[in-house]
C-alpha cells in the first residue's frame, strides 16, 4: 500500500472510532427524556448522563483528530468538504457546543433554599440544558449520515476543487435515507449501551427503547446500504453491508436474551461496518465530482507530500495505540453499572 | 463589506472568545494540580477543600474552552479553504499532532479526575490531574508552532507544479524561534491570568469575610491569596523577559509589525519608544505617513529591538517601498492605530496586573493581611486587566501580520473560500456571536454563584465534633 492509501485507511479508522464511540453518546443524549421520566425523572436522567459522563469528552476528540488528520494528510479534501458543506457543518458545530456545555452545566445550579421559586428556577435551568442535549445529540447523528452519504454520492465539484452544491442539492433522497439510518442506528446503539451500563428502571426502559427502535433502524440501515450497494457497490461493500445488518439484528436478539455485553459489541460492529462500507465505496476517490470524474478529488491528487505522510505515520503508529490503551483503561475504571444510588 | 471582511471578523471574534477561556485553563490546571499535590503531601483538609473549590471553578471554565475550540478546528476549512489547501501539508501536521498527543490526554484524564475521586487510588487520582494539565500545556505548544509558522514560515518549499507549500523539515517547524519564544510568552501570560484569578477569588472571599459561614475559610483564602500572588509575580517576570525576546524577533522577522506598533514612519537609528502618538497615514499614496504628535523616550526602542541604543529600526514608509518592489504593487501596511494602541494596552494592562501581584506579595509578607478594603478591590480588578492584556497581545500579533496570512507567501485576500457566499459567512458570524454572547453571560454568572457559595458548598465542613469522613464524595453531574 502506498502512503496516501495508508492515510485514507487511517482516516477511515479515526472516523470509525468516532462513530462507534460518539454513536452511543448521541443515542444516550437523544434518549434522555425518554428514559428519564416519571416521578423520579431527575434521578434517572442523572443516571443516563452519568453513564457517559467520564468518557464523552474523550470520545469527541476522535472527531477533532479525524478532522485534523484530514487537514494534514489530504488538505484539498479537508478544504473542499468543510467549505462545500458549510451550513450542515455549522449546524453540527452549534449542536456540539450546546451539548458539551449542557453536560457540564446542567447539574451546576441547585436550589439554594427550599423556596418554591428556587426549586422552580433550578428545574427550568435543567430543562433548558436537557433540550440542548437532545438537540445537540440528534442533529449531528442525522447530519453526519447526510454528509457522508453526499460524500459517497458526489457533489458539484469543479476543476478548481471548489464545491458548488447548494443546500437543497445536499438534501437529496439518498442522503436523507443516510441521515435517517445513522440517526436510528445511534439511538439503538445508545439504548444498548445504557442497558449495559445502568441498572434499575433506566436499564429496563433502555431495553424497551432498543426493542422499539430496532425494526426502524434495521429497515433504514438496510435501505441505505442497499442503495449504496446499487450505486457504488463492490463485492467488499456487499460483504460489509451484510455484516452490518446481521450485526444489528443479532445485537437486538442478544439484548432480548439479556446478553448486554455481547449486544453492545454487536451494535458497535454494525456502526463500524456501516462506516467501512462508506469508505470502501468511496475509495480511491475522497470526494467524487458529479460534473466529471476527471474533477474527482482522489487519494492520489488530494494528499500531502510523502515527507509529511511519513512523519504522520510514525507519530500515529506510536501514539494512537497509546491513546486506545488509556481510553480503554478509563472505560475499565468506570466499568460498574450506574444506578440511582450513585447519583443521590 | 464582502465575504473576506466577514470571514476576518468571524475568525477574530471566535478566536478572541476562545482565548478568554484558554489562558485560565492552561494556568488553572496546574494550580489545581498543585493544590491537590499539597493535600497529598501534607494531608491537611484545607488543601483538599481548596482543590475542590478551585477545581469546580476550573471545570466551569474548562467546558467553555473545549467547546469554543471545536469551532477553530473546522473554521480553517469552512471560511479559508484556499489557505487550507495552500498550507495544509505544513500547517495540518501540528494540528493533527495536537489532537493526537494533547487533546486525547487532556479530555480522557479530565474525565478520570472528575469522576475518579472514589474510584482511583489517591496517588493515581493525583496523576490524572497532572496528565490533564500536561495535555493543556502541550496543546498550546502545537497550536502556537502552527501559528508561528504563519508569521515566520520555515522548513517548507513551494511546489511549482500546483503552487502549494509542502513540508521539508518538521524539526525546523517545531523549533521555529518564533514558536519557542511565543510559547514561553503565552504560557507565562496564562499563568499570570490564573494567578490573578486565584488572587481575585481569594480577595473577594476575604473582603466579604463577614459572610463566611465557617471560621476556617479566611485561613484557607489567606494561603491561596499568597500562592496566587506568588504565581503572578514569578510568571510576570517570565512574561517581561520573553516579551523582550519577542520584540527582538519581531524586529528581525516582522519589521512592519514593529514599525506599526511603534508608529515609526521612517527608518532611524537611536529610535525612541513612543508613549503617545497621533499619526496621519492618509496623505499621499499608500503607505506614506507621518506623526502629527509623538511623545517618546529616546533610545529605548532601538535598545529593545536590537540590543543597542543606536540600532537601526526600519520605518513603515521604507518597508512599504521595499515590499512593493519585492512582491508587486499593493498596500503592505497593517491597521496602524489598532497595532499602536493594542501594543500599549497589552504592556500597560499586563504590567498593571503583574504590579498588583508584586505589591500584594509585599503587603502580605509574614502572613499579614492588608486592612484597607480598597486593596482587595484592586486585586479583583487586576484579573480583567490581565485578561484584556492577553487579548490585546493577540490582536497585535495577528493584525500585525496583515495583509498576509502566511508572511511573504500568501495574502489574506487570497486565502478565503471561493465557494462560500457572503450570506453564509454573515449567517455563521451572527450565529456564533449570539451563541457565544449568551454562553459568556451564563458562564460568568455561574462562576460568580460558585465563588459566592464558597468552598463549603462544594465540600461541606464537618459538623461539630463529627470526625471528617475518609470517604470523599465524587463530583457528579
Predicted local distance difference test score (pLDDT) of residue A38: 83
Q: Which residues contact A39 (CB under 8 A, 6 or more apart)?
A: none
Interchain proximity B477–A71, CB inside 8 Å: no
Residue from B248, B161, B186 nearest B391 by CA: B186
Predicted confidence at residue A206, as pLDDT, reads 93
Percentage above 70 pLDDT, chain B: 92
Q: Which of B99, B167, B445, B474 to mutate to test the interface with A (most CBs of A within 10 A)?
A: B99
ω into B403 cis (within 30 of 0): yes
Q: Choose the closest CB to B477 out of A98, A103, A160.
A: A103
Residues A200 and A47 sit within 8 Å (Cβ to Cβ)? yes
What gap in Å lies between CA A85 and CA B335, rounded to an integer? 33
CA B232 to chain centre: 15
Residue of B nearest to A54 (CA): B111
d(CA B437, CA A97): 13
Which residue in chain A is spatially nearest to B119 when comparing CA positions? A333
CB atoms within 10 A of CB B278: 12
Chunk chain A into consecutive blocks of 10 residues (it has 344) and report each block's average pLDDT, rounded to whole numbers.
91 96 96 90 91 92 94 93 93 96 90 85 92 96 96 90 84 94 96 93 92 93 94 89 89 86 93 95 91 88 90 93 94 89 76
What pLDDT, on a 0 to 100 scale, did the predictor assign at position A255?
Answer: 86
CA closest to A73 among chain B residues: B89
Q: A214: which residues sit within 8 A by CB, 6+ positions away?
A: A188, A248, A249, A252
A100 vs B contacts (CB less than 8 Å):
63, 66-67, 70
* Contact (CB<8Å) A304/B159: no
**For position B299, what pLDDT does the model report?**
67
Contact (Cβ atoms closer than 8 angstroms) between residue B196 and residue B386: yes
Chain A residues touching residue B87 (CB < 8 angstroms): 75
Instruction: List CB contacts (< 8 A) between B92 and chain A.
Output: 68-69, 71-73, 75, 78, 304, 308
Task: Kindly report the pTM of this predicted structure.
Answer: 0.92
> Contact at 8 Å (CB) between B122 and A344?
no
pLDDT of B354 reads 87
Q: Which three cell numbers stand for residue B203?
A: 480577595
CB-nearest partner of B73 from A68, A162, A343: A68
For residue A276, give the nearest of A3, A2, A9, A1 by alpha carbon. Answer: A9
Q: Which one of A28, A44, A70, A75 would you mutate to disrupt binding with B, by most B Cβ within 10 Å of its Cβ?
A: A75
Chain B residue at shortest CA distance from A304 = B89
- The answer to whether A64 and A77 are in contact (CB under 8 A) is no
Residues in contact with A131: Cβ distance below 8 Å, sequence separation at least 6, in sequence order:
none
Q: What is the CA radius of gyration of chain A?
A: 21
CB contact under 8 A, B99 and A61: yes
Q: Residue ranges of chain B with pLDDT lower than 50?
A: 283-284, 464-474, 476
pLDDT at B286: 54
> A316 to chain B: which residues are within 8 Å by CB?
100
CA B245 and chain centroid, separation: 17
* Structure confidence at residue B465 (pLDDT): 46
Quick one: pLDDT at residue B464? Answer: 47
Nearest to B2 by CA among B433, B429, B431: B429
Cα gap B302→B325, rounded to integer Å:
26
Residues B281/B209, Cβ–Cβ less than 8 Å: no
User: Which residues in chain A are contacts of B159 at CB distance < 8 A?
Assistant: 305
B97/A84 touch (CB, cutoff 8 Å), yes or no: no
Whole-Å CA distances, A2 to A280, A298, A300, B441: 16, 13, 10, 51
Of A100, A160, A163, Cβ closest to residue B66: A100
Interchain proximity A82–B74, CB inside 8 Å: yes
> Cα distance from A260 to chain B (closest Cα, Å)?
23
Give tens-digit pLDDT for A24-51.
999 999 999 999 888 888 889 999 999 9
Cα separation, B400 vs B259, whole angstroms = 10
pLDDT of residue B463: 61
Amino acid at each position: 500500500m502506498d502512503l496516501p492509501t495508508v492515510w485514507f485507511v487511517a482516516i477511515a479508522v479515526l472516523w470509525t472510532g468516532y462513530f462507534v464511540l460518539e454513536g452511543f453518546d448521541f443515542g444516550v443524549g437523544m434518549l434522555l427524556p425518554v428514559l428519564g421520566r416519571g416521578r423520579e425523572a431527575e434521578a434517572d436522567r442523572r443516571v443516563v448522563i452519568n453513564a457517559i459522563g467520564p468518557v464523552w469528552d474523550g470520545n469527541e476528540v476522535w472527531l477533532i483528530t479525524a478532522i485534523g488528520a484530514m487537514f494534514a494528510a489530504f488538505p484539498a479534501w479537508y478544504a473542499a468538504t468543510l467549505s462545500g458543506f458549510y451550513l450542515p457543518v455549522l449546524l453540527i458545530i452549534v449542536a456540539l457546543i450546546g451539548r458539551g456545555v449542557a453536560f457540564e452545566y446542567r447539574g451546576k445550579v441547585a436550589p439554594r433554599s427550599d423556596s418554591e421559586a428556587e426549586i422552580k428556577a433550578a428545574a427550568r435551568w435543567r430543562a433548558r440544558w436537557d433540550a440542548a442535549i437532545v438537540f445537540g445529540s440528534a442533529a449531528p447523528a442525522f447530519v453526519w449520515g447526510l454528509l457522508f452519504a453526499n460524500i459517497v454520492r458526489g457533489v458539484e465539484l469543479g476543476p478548481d476543487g471548489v464545491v458548488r452544491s447548494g443546500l437543497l442539492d445536499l438534501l437529496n433522497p439518498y442522503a436523507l435515507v443516510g441521515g435517517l439510518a445513522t440517526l436510528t442506528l445511534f439511538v439503538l446503539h445508545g439504548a444498548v449501551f445504557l442497558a449495559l451500563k445502568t441498572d434499575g428502571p433506566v436499564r429496563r426502559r433502555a431495553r424497551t427503547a432498543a426493542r422499539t427502535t430496532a425494526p426502524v433502524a434495521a429497515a433504514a440501515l438496510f435501505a441505505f446500504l442497499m442503495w449504496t450497494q446499487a450505486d457504488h457497490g463492490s463485492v467488499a461493500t456487499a460483504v460489509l453491508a451484510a455484516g452490518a445488518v446481521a450485526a444489528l439484528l443479532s445485537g437486538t436478539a442478544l439484548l432480548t436474551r439479556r446478553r448486554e455485553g455481547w449486544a453492545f459489541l454487536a451494535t458497535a460492529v454494525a456502526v463500524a461496518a456501516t462506516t467501512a462500507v462508506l469508505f470502501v465505496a468511496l475509495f480511491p476517490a475522497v470526494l467524487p465530482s458529479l460534473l466529471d470524474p476527471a474533477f474527482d478529488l482522489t487519494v492520489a491528487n488530494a494528499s500531502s507530500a510523502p515527507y509529511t505522510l511519513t512523519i504522520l505515520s510514525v507519530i500515529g503508529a506510536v501514539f494512537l495505540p497509546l491513546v486506545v490503551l488509556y481510553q480503554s483503561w478509563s472505560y475499565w475504571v468506570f466499568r460498574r453499572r450506574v444506578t440511582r444510588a450513585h447519583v443521590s | 463589506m464582502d465575504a473576506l471582511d466577514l470571514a476576518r471578523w468571524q475568525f477574530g471574534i471566535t478566536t478572541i472568545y476562545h482565548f478568554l477561556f484558554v489562558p485560565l485553563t492552561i494556568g488553572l490546571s496546574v494550580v489545581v494540580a498543585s493544590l491537590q499535590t499539597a493535600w497529598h503531601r501534607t494531608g491537611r483538609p484545607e488543601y483538599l477543600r481548596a482543590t475542590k473549590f478551585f477545581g469546580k471553578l476550573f471545570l466551569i471554565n474548562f467546558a467553555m474552552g473545549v467547546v469554543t475550540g471545536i469551532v477553530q478546528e473546522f473554521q480553517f476549512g469552512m471560511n479559508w479553504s484556499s489557505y487550507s489547501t495552500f498550507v495544509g501539508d505544513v500547517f495540518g501536521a501540528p494540528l493533527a499532532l495536537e489532537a493526537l498527543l494533547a487533546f486525547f490526554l487532556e479530555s480522557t484524564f479530565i474525565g478520570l479526575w472528575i469522576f475518579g475521586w472514589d474510584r482511583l487510588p489517591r496517588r493515581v487520582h493525583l496523576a490524572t490531574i497532572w496528565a490533564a494539565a500536561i495535555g493543556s500545556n502541550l496543546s498550546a505548544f502545537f497550536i502556537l508552532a502552527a501559528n508561528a509558522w504563519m508569521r515566520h514560515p520555515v522548513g517548507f518549499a513551494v511546489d511549482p507544479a500546483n503552487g502549494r507549500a509542502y513540508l521539508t523539515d518538521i524539526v525546523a517547524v517545531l523549533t521555529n524561534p518564533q514558536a519557542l519564544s511565543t510559547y514561553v510568552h503565552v504560557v507565562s501570560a496564562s499563568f499570570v491570568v490564573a494567578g490573578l484569578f486565584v488572587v481575585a477569588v481569594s480577595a473577594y472571599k476575604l473582603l466579604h469575610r463577614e459572610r463566611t459561614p465557617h471560621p476556617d475559610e479566611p485561613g484557607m483564602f489567606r494561603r491561596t491569596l499568597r500562592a496566587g500572588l506568588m504565581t503572578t509575580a514569578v510568571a510576570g517576570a517570565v512574561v517581561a523577559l520573553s516579551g523582550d525576546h519577542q520584540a527582538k524577533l519581531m524586529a528581525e522577522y516582522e519589521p512592519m509589525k514593529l514599525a506599526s506598533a511603534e508608529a515609526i514612519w521612517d527608518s532611524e537609528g537611536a529610535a525612541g519608544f513612543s508613549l503617545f502618538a497621533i499619526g496621519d497615514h492618509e496623505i499621499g499614496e499608500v503607505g506614506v505617513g507621518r506623526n502629527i504628535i509623538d511623545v517618546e523616550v529616546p533610545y529605548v526602542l532601538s535598545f529593545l529591538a536590537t540590543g543597542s541604543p543606536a540600532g537601526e529600526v526600519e520605518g513603515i514608509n521604507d518597508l512599504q517601498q521595499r515590499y512593493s518592489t519585492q512582491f508587486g504593487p499593493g498596500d503592505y501596511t497593517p491597521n496602524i492605530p489598532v497595532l499602536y494602541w493594542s501594543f500599549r494596552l497589552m504592556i500597560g494592562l499586563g504590567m498593571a496586573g503583574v504590579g498588583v501581584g508584586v505589591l500584594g506579595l509585599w503587603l502580605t509578607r509574614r502572613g499579614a493581611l492588608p486592612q484597607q478594603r480598597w486593596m482587595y478591590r484592586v486585586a479583583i480588578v487586576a484579573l480583567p486587566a490581565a485578561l484584556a492584556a492577553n487579548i490585546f497581545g493577540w490582536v497585535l500579533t495577528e493584525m500585525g501580520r496583515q495583509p498576509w496570512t502566511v508572511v511573504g507567501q500568501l495574502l489574506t485576500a487570497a486565502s478565503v473560500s471561493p465557494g462560500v457566499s457572503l450570506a453564509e459567512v454573515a449567517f455563521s458570524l451572527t450565529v456564533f456571536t449570539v451563541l457565544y454572547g449568551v454562553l459568556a453571560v451564563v458562564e460568568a454568572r455561574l462562576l460568580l454563584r460558585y465563588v459566592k457559595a464558597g468552598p463549603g458548598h462544594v465540600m461541606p465542613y464537618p459538623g461539630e465534633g463529627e470526625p471528617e469522613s475518609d470517604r470523599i464524595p465524587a463530583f457528579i453531574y
